[in-house]
Structure 1
Amino acid sequence: MSGVDQARRLRRIETLARTLDSKFRIPGTGIRFGWDGILSILPVAGDTVAAGLSAYLIYEAYKGGARKRTLTKMGTNAGVDWLFGSIPVVGTIFDVAYKANTRNLKLLQEELARQAPPQA
């Protein structure tokens, strides 16, 4: 895969993670949230939609060459987010705080840094 394709893929993943986890801010606080937290208002159904978007992020990581170990960690983060996020009321707070997609973005960035050839 070319460096340009990899950069585009990473930008898509970054945009999706930001949209799901931290697109909005509550003024006067440090609290940021995204569509994952908003969708969580509808227990189970909203979290299932958000999990599908998280699965797309993981799929993009797979297509970008992430190792199985990294993909497993990403899947675990998404699963924890879905499981606890599906609990009414408490799950919405959990979704806003946990930020599984941001965690997965960080895992992917670390993976890509590990794969990058050393600079001479």
Structure 2
Amino acid sequence: MANTTRINSDPASKIAGMIPFGTDAASVRQRVVALEHLLEGLFTIPGTNRKVGLDVILNLIPIGGGAIASAMGAYMVWEARNLGMSKMQISRMFGNVGVDFMLGLVPFIGAVPDFFFRSNTRNLRIIKKHLDKHHPATATIEN
């Protein structure tokens, strides 16, 4: 029998292979950082140094776009809860998601304040601070 190699051309399986599914702190850190990048920093607006992600783009969709973006932000809070973060930190993170949701309620115009109030970046900062203190082995050196 010939030794054959199966080539998987599905891009979704490639991306899924890069995101860890474990419950350990290092896997959670990678997932949360990837989600924050997706929501807040997908691409840079030409001529500026500002990054935009799915959070702002979804807020341009009337009615359901802001709810979808808030649900994705709430997933970050759920991951933080699974890490054993304090109730004060969790409530602060839910507050950030709630403010982001309220700012995005106005169709089209709501994307402007959402562009400046980056709740997912704020929540990532809270999670990283917790992980650096309680799980220092997960810390990475950033440029």
TM range (shorter): 0.7 to 0.9
Question: Match for residue 57 of structure 1?
Answer: 76
Question: Match for residue 16 of structure 1?
Answer: 35
Could you tell which deviates more after superposition, 71-80 or 19-28? 19-28
Q: Can you give the 5+ residue segments of structure 1 that lack an aligned partner in the other structure?
A: none
Residue 40 of structure 1: how far off its partner (Å): 0.3
Does structure 2 conserve the Cα–Cα contact (< 8 Å) formed by 1:70 and 1:111? Answer: no
CA RMSD between the two structures: 1.5
Report whether the alignment pairs 1:76 with 2:64: no
Residue 86 of structure 1: how far off its partner (Å): 1.4
- What secondary structure, in the 3-state scheme, does the structure 2 residue paired with 1:90 have? coil
Report whether the alignment pairs 1:43 with 2:68: no
Residue 20 of structure 1: how far off its partner (Å): 0.3
Question: Match for residue 108 of structure 1?
Answer: 127
Give the number of the structure whose alpha-carbon radius of gyration is greater.
Answer: 2
Could you tell which deviates more after superposition, 106-115 or 91-100? 106-115
Residue 113 of structure 1: how far off its partner (Å): 2.6
Structure with the higher fraction of residues in helix conformation: 1
Does structure 1 conserve the Cα–Cα contact (< 8 Å) formed by 2:77 and 2:94? Answer: yes
Does structure 1 conserve the Cα–Cα contact (< 8 Å) formed by 2:36 and 2:120? Answer: yes
Residue 116 of structure 1: how far off its partner (Å): 4.5
Residue 59 of structure 1: how far off its partner (Å): 0.5
Residue 65 of structure 1: how far off its partner (Å): 1.4
C-alpha distance after superposition, 1:7-37 (max 9, x if no partner)? 1101100110111011111122112110010
Question: Match for residue 53 of structure 2?
Answer: 34
